[in-house]
């Protein structure tokens, strides 16, 4: 396919679709509202974003045009969405997990990636992480790049390139940030509650549409 260049919103929406397809498959495919909430999570995200429903819908329309996402025609009256990330980018599941984690959580070292990508069924060891990074970097359009390592640092960080090359300021911030593993996604409480709320809202929208059609 042609060169990929996604806006930060488009990249976040796409990666959130990938994440939720793995971590909460019972709520996948996803409505626009559920996907907006997933994109705006305060945990497991760097940077934290504040997409509106319109931002999310516009991002999905662009991703659909680029064949990176598709509407699920069997999901009822309320539109729901699936990603086509691995199909279009020719990604193995473990490699897709690494790339999605970089998009969702920002620049990370291989050790950070191994911990953070585990929830998405990422590689279980350092060799697997490095193999995935090498695969993503060694393409006609590289999807990741390694950042410079500051003196005294044990490992360099990697950054995704689906939204273009990082600026000098972004590189400086990434290489100077202390190593950390971002907060894990809540197991079943808040994330499940948010997903259930979004599904309930979608069900209400569907019932309202049916009532309107019946009344007309």
Q: Which two tokens stand for residue 91?
A: 């990604």
Residue 180, domain member (yes or no)? no
CA distances (Å), 205 to each of 71, 209, 215, in order? Answer: 17, 6, 15
pTM over 0.85: no
Dist. CA 112–CA 22, nearest whole Å: 19
Dist. CA 106–CA 154, nearest whole Å: 18
Q: Which two tokens stand for residue 170?
A: 């972004």
Residue 49, domain member (yes or no)? yes
Residue 166 pLDDT: 83
Q: Report the 10 Å Cβ neighbour count for 115.
A: 18
Q: Report the 10 Å Cβ neighbour count for 103.
A: 25
For the chain (216 residues), the mean pLDDT of every run of 10, in chain order, is: 90 98 95 96 95 98 97 82 95 97 96 96 97 97 90 85 85 65 51 61 59 60
CATH of the domain at 20: 1.10.10.10
23 and 84 part of one domain: yes
Residue 73, domain member (yes or no)? yes
Residue 195, domain member (yes or no)? yes
Count structural domains, the chain. Answer: 2
Residue 171, domain member (yes or no)? no
Dist. CA 143–CA 159, nearest whole Å: 9
- Element (DSSP H or E) covering residue 146: strand 144-146
56 and 130 part of one domain: no
148 and 194 part of one domain: no
* CB-based contacts of 74, cutoff 8 Å, min separation 6: none
81 and 148 part of one domain: no
Per-residue pLDDT reduced to its tens digit, 107-129:
999 999 999 999 999 999 999 99
81 and 42 part of one domain: yes
Residue 140 pLDDT: 95
156 and 107 part of one domain: yes
192 and 207 part of one domain: yes
Residue 30, beta-bridge partner list? 81
Domain of 135?
93-166
131 and 149 part of one domain: yes
106 and 34 part of one domain: no
73 and 115 part of one domain: no
């Amino acid at each position: 396919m042609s060169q990929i260049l996604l806006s930060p919103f488009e990249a976040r929406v796409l990666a959130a679709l990938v994440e939720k397809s793995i971590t909460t498959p019972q709520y996948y495919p996803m409505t626009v509202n559920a996907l907006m909430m997933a994109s705006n999570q305060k945990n497991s995200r760097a940077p934290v974003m504040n997409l509106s429903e319109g931002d999310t819908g516009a991002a999905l329309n662009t991703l659909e045009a680029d064949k990176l996402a598709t509407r699920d025609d069997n999901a009822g009256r309320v539109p729901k969405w699936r990603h086509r990330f691995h199909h279009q980018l020719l990604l193995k599941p473990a490699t897709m997990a690494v790339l999605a984690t970089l998009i969702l959580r920002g620049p990370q070292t291989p050790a950070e990636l191994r911990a953070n990508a585990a929830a998405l069924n990422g590689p279980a060891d350092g060799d697997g992480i490095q193999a995935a990074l090498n695969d993503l970097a060694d393409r006609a359009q590289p999807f990741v790049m390694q950042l410079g390592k500051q003196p005294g640092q044990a490992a360099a960080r990697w950054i995704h390139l689906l939204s273009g090359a990082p600026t000098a300021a972004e590189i400086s911030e990434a290489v100077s940030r202390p190593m950390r593993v971002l907060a894990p996604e809540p197991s079943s409480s808040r994330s499940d509650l948010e997903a259930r709320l979004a599904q309930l809202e979608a069900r209400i929208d569907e019932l309202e549409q049916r009532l309107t059609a019946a009344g007309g």
